[in-house]
Amino acid sequence: MESNPACADRTVQRYGAAWAWNGPGPSSFRIGTEKESEMPATRDNRLDEAAILTRAVETVFRKLIRFLVGRISLIRLQEMIRYIYVEEAEKNLRSENPGKNVPLTKLALVTGLDTRTLVQVRKRLEVDTQQYRQQFLAELTPESAIVEAWVEQARNPDSENGSVLGYGSDRNAFEKLVRSTIPGRGITTQSIIERLVATKSVVQDKDHRTLKLVVERFSPYLSDDEPNMLNAALSAISNLTSTIEHNMESTQEEKFFQRQSWTFRLSPDDRESFRQMSRKMLARYKDEAEAEIRPWEREKYSEGLITAGVGFYYFEE
């Protein structure tokens, strides 16, 4: 059983399970081999902090982006990160000098953005945040922007086009809609049609070369279960990140419990049996956790109460 992934060749597959406590109060679980926020082993100690941070961020981002490909465009993801980064940087600087405005020069130093760009970001967020976020959600991907424009067009009593549009040439209604909605992106109409058909947003009649819009809002998910699964996965990532953030800023006594246990020496022939064993083990721990947590719960929800708990998951690399 291994305790630190930095000690082994990264080409070797890793199998294991993890436990994490997210919130104040006692924890029923004291199992595992990896300490909270433990420094990497000897080989990584030779790397400087910037290299360690870069590698860690790249690893996390790469796996997160796998979730997002096809669901949010790179342009929108970059925009989202920019706005969130500026918001969080400003909060951090304001906490250092409570009651004082954050100078743009300091914000520029922390974010790496020029002051003119920062003024635009601030203005966009402060003037009409709700309208901006609605527009952002409507344009997460080119397909979502097209569906949004199509729905508005179909609802317009003065519009000649409804939910059924012809396609196949530059003069057709669908091509005109695409050009007016996402001009200059170099995206082919055929690729958009394929994506809309794959996500069950339109019904394609190849004989008559028409597309019928059958949704009011674009969804990048291909099954009814996928949105819930993705929401649960990202919620778990968020909870673990909160635990790590807390532990990085806490004394040893105040750290939340955070452990992983794994092996690098599992035969592929034993993978399925190992998965089944891990599932049964984690299910037992889940039942035990629910029994331990239940006495701590208030009978009714009210303001001021907090959310806290533990998480369980199996992983392979």
- For the segment 234-240, the average pLDDT, to the nearest whole number, is 84
pTM over 0.75: no
How do beta strands 202-205 and 210-213 pair?
antiparallel
Q: What is the pLDDT of residue 28?
A: 35
Query: Residue 195 above 50 pLDDT?
Result: yes
How do beta strands 210-213 and 309-316 pair?
unpaired
Query: Residue 128 above 70 pLDDT?
Result: no
Q: What is the pLDDT of residues 241-269, one digit of tens each?
A: 889 889 988 999 999 999 889 999 999 99
Q: What is the pLDDT of residue 205?
A: 95
| DSSP H or E run through 271 | helix 271-293
Sheet (strand 164-166) strand order: 164-166, 210-213, 202-205
> Quick one: 6 exposed, middle or buried, by C-beta within 10 A (0-12, 13-18, 19+)?
middle
Q: What is the pLDDT of residues 44-87, one digit of tens each?
A: 555 677 788 888 888 888 988 888 887 778 888 888 888 889 98
Q: What is the pLDDT of residue 47?
A: 61
Residue ranges in 46-188 assigned as alpha helix (H) = 49-68, 74-96, 104-111, 115-127, 129-138, 142-155, 173-181
Q: Could you tell me the pLDDT band of residue 5, with boundaries at 50, 70 and 90? A: very low
Q: Could you tell me the pLDDT band of residue 112, with boundaries at 50, 70 and 90? A: very high
Query: Residue 136 above 70 pLDDT?
Result: no
- For the segment 92-101, the average pLDDT, to the nearest whole number, is 87
| Lookup: tokens for 93 | 């600087």
- For the segment 120-124, the average pLDDT, to the nearest whole number, is 81
Q: Could you tell me the pLDDT band of residue 3, with boundaries at 50, 70 and 90? A: very low
State how far Cα 56 lies from the chain centre. 16
The more confidently predicted of residues 223 and 145 is 145
- Phi then psi for residue 2, to 5 deg, are -100, 160
Q: What is the pLDDT of residue 299?
A: 81
Residue 213's nearest CA partner among 223, 201, 195, 221 is 201
- Phi then psi for residue 213, to 5 deg, are -75, 125
Residue pair 108/122 in contact by the 8 Å Cβ criterion: no
Query: Residue 94 above 70 pLDDT?
Result: yes
| Lookup: tokens for 94 | 């304001």
Query: Residue 31 above 60 pLDDT?
Result: no
The more confidently predicted of residues 229 and 307 is 307
3-state secondary structure 108-128: HHHHCCCHHHHHHHHHHHHHC
Count of positions (residues) in the chain: 317
Q: What is the rounded distance in angstroms from the CA atom of residue 317 to the CA atom of residue 306?
A: 34
**Domain assignments of the chain as residue spans, ordered by start:** 5-41+225-316, 74-138, 142-213
Q: What is the pLDDT of residues 160-192, one digit of tens each?
A: 778 999 999 989 999 999 888 876 666 788 988
